């Protein structure tokens, strides 16, 4: 076909190309070949209306699912070439044609059980499109599209939730409030998750005044679905604590109690972790004590969350104090508890403390796991206790424990630095049994040659 067209020496015009496409509207493959050929001819350029006709043709056949990528590529090409005039009707037709395929089973189910589905099929696809734009921070473009389409497709609660989240994402509080007010006025209920996400976004960005404004809106003008929860209060309390505004933080705590919104275990965990991160250790202990008074005795997960923050901050005395409280309250330490203590001791340069924690595990009949061996061996290598590290590494190899590759890499490097070729060979052999032989052999050979060169020098 292309060869025959070349010999005709045609003078292409938009009207001619559009007419040919109309004649080939039932033969989309041939139409697309002609469209592609015409687009490569000199002194001719496809106009937006021709692109629209081709897109309409491709998205209205039984093979539209297979041709979806072609449609997307054409839209992308139009965008890059500045041909932005894609009519809303064409876009909606694309959304409707493709979405109906995926709602086919739902339609059969509704028909079988005599259920009337009122939702327009294209609204689901439209919501996905808006969501994608908002996640790319193209919220203004999403709003323009929304305003063009809302008279043809009735928006649902999901549509407004997506737009509200988008304005929060770009930190435009005023626009977000407008969407909320319009949404509530039309009888749609904002999702609680939407509010929580928005509040969390504001607080993380340091926009506390905007967060307070939204919080007050939830409390005064929102619906029952948007009433502040323990999770909502926790976000606000921790945010003010991070900024050092403890008076505001405790004011929210009092309001939470007065409103009858009692914190649960997960809320207490968030409050304790948040207070620890901002250095408010005493306040964190108060929350820990309050948990027990309110009928929520701290479990090992809560204690470990608290302990992790203290260990990461390298607060040895506070970590040991919390460890003592755990024992007094009858909460047996877990293997994760000891692993965190061992890591902390090595980080603060106290390997003797790591050995004490290691031995304490045996006294308490707490079985050591693979992570325990890894952090202990790595810590011993890093503090130049290579002999002890090699002994433990030998235990790992003899027990047949399958180390993760990153630890193999680290241990082989340490052995290479001390020039222990026999240990490298044993570890490499163990790696070939439990991991990829090719990677093990390549890395081990490289480390051995490197060690040999260093010893030769």
In a domain, 186, yes or no: no
- Residues, the chain: 457
| H or E element in which residue 156 lies | none
What lies within 8 Å, CB to CB, of 197 at 6+ separation is 165, 168
Tokens of 239: 């945010």
The whole-number pLDDT of residue 342 equals: 95
In a domain, 264, yes or no: no
Q: How far is CA 315 from the centre of its chain?
A: 30
Whether 103 shows a pLDDT value over 50: the answer reads no
Which of 222, 221, 202 lies closest to 211, judged by CA?
A: 202
In a domain, 242, yes or no: no
What's the Rg (C-alpha) of the chain?
A: 32
Can you tell me the distance from the alpha carbon of 203 to that of 211, in angstroms, rounded to the nearest whole number? 7
In a domain, 30, yes or no: yes
Whether 38 shows a pLDDT value over 80: the answer reads yes
What backbone torsions phi and psi does residue 116 show, to the nearest 5 degrees?
A: -90, 115
Confidence band (pLDDT; 50, 70, 90) for 115? very low
Confidence band (pLDDT; 50, 70, 90) for 251? confident
In a domain, 62, yes or no: yes
Confidence band (pLDDT; 50, 70, 90) for 117? very low
Question: Domain tally for the chain?
Answer: 1
The whole-number pLDDT of residue 263 equals: 66
SS3 letters across 277-311: HCCCHHHHHHHHHHHHHCCCCCCHHHHHHHHHHHH
The whole-number pLDDT of residue 96 equals: 58
In a domain, 41, yes or no: yes
Which conformational region is residue 404 in: left (phi greater than 0), alpha (psi within -120 to 50 degrees), or beta? beta
- The mean pLDDT of the chain is 76
Whether 173 shows a pLDDT value over 70: the answer reads yes
In a domain, 64, yes or no: yes
The per-residue pLDDT for range 261-314, each reduced to its tens digit, is: 766 666 677 777 777 777 778 877 877 787 777 777 778 888 888 888 889 889
The per-residue pLDDT for range 55-84, each reduced to its tens digit, is: 667 666 555 555 555 665 666 555 555 544
Give the pTM: 0.52
Window from 114-128, 264-278, 299-313, 368-382 with minimum mean pLDDT: 114-128
Q: What is the DSSP letter of 119?
A: S
In a domain, 319, yes or no: no
Confidence band (pLDDT; 50, 70, 90) for 451? low
Q: Concatenate the DSSP letters of all residues of 162-226 into one string.
A: HHHHHHHHTT-HHHHHHHHHHHHHTTPPPPHHHHHHHHHHHHHTT-HHHHHHHHHHHHHTS-GGG
Using CA atoms, how far residue 297 sits from 301, 329, 331, in Å, is 11, 9, 10
Other C-beta atoms within 10 Å of 116: how many? 6
The whole-number pLDDT of residue 78 equals: 59
- 8 Å CB contact between 31 and 70: no
Confidence band (pLDDT; 50, 70, 90) for 434? low
Segment 436-443 shows an average pLDDT of 53
114 vs 191, residue with greater confidence? 191
Window from 66-70, 277-281, 336-340, 410-414 with minimum mean pLDDT: 66-70
364 vs 281, residue with greater confidence? 364
Confidence band (pLDDT; 50, 70, 90) for 235? confident
Query: Residue 22: which domain range?
Result: 1-112
The whole-number pLDDT of residue 60 equals: 60
């Amino acid at each position: 076909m292309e060869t025959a067209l070349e010999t005709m020496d045609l003078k292409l015009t938009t009207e001619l190309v559009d007419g040919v496409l109309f004649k080939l509207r039932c033969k989309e493959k041939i139409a697309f070949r002609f469209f592609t050929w015409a687009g490569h001819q000199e002194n001719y350029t496809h106009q937006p209306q021709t692109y629209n006709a081709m897109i309409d043709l491709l998205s209205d056949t039984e093979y539209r699912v297979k041709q979806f990528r072609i449609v997307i590529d054409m839209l992308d090409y139009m965008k890059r070439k500045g041909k932005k005039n894609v009519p809303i009707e064409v876009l909606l037709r694309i959304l409707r044609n493709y979405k109906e395929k995926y709602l086919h089973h739902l339609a059969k189910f509704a028909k079988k059980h005599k259920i009337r589905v009122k939702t327009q099929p294209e609204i689901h696809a439209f919501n996905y499109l808006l969501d994608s734009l908002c996640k790319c921070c193209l919220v203004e473009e999403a709003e323009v599209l929304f305003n063009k389409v809302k008279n043809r497709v009735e928006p649902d609660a999901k549509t407004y939730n997506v737009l509200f989240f988008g304005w929060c994402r770009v930190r435009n509080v005023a626009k977000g409030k407008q969407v909320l007010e319009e949404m509530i006025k039309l009888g749609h209920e904002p999702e609680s998750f939407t509010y929580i996400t928005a509040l969390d976004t504001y607080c993380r960005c340091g926009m506390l005044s905007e967060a307070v404004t939204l919080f007050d809106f939830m409390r005064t003008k929102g619906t029952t679905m948007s009433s502040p929860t323990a999770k909502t209060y926790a976000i606000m309390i921790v945010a003010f604590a991070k900024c050092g505004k403890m008076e505001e933080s405790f004011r929210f705590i009092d309001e939470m109690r007065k409103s009858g919104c009692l914190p649960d275990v997960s809320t207490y965990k968030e409050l304790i972790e948040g207070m620890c991160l901002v250095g408010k250790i005493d306040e964190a202990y108060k929350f820990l004590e309050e948990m027990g008074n309110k009928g929520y005795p701290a479990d090992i997960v809560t204690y470990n969350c608290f302990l992790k923050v203290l260990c990461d901050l390298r607060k040895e005395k506070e970590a040991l104090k919390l460890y003592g409280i755990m024992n007094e309250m009858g909460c047996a330490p877990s293997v994760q508890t000891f692993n965190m203590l061992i890591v902390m001791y090595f980080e603060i340069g106290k390997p003797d403390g790591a050995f004490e924690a290691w031995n304490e595990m045996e006294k308490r009949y707490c079985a050591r796991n693979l992570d325990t061996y890894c952090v202990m061996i790595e810590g011993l290598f890093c503090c130049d206790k290579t002999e002890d590290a090699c002994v433990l590494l030998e235990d790992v190899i003899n027990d047949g424990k399958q180390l993760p590759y990153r630890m193999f890499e680290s241990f082989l490097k340490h052995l290479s630095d001390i020039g222990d070729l026999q240990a490298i060979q044993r570890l490499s052999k163990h790696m070939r049994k439990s991991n990829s032989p090719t990677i093990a052999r390549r890395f081990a050979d490289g480390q051995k040659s490197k060690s040999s060169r260093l010893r030769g020098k």
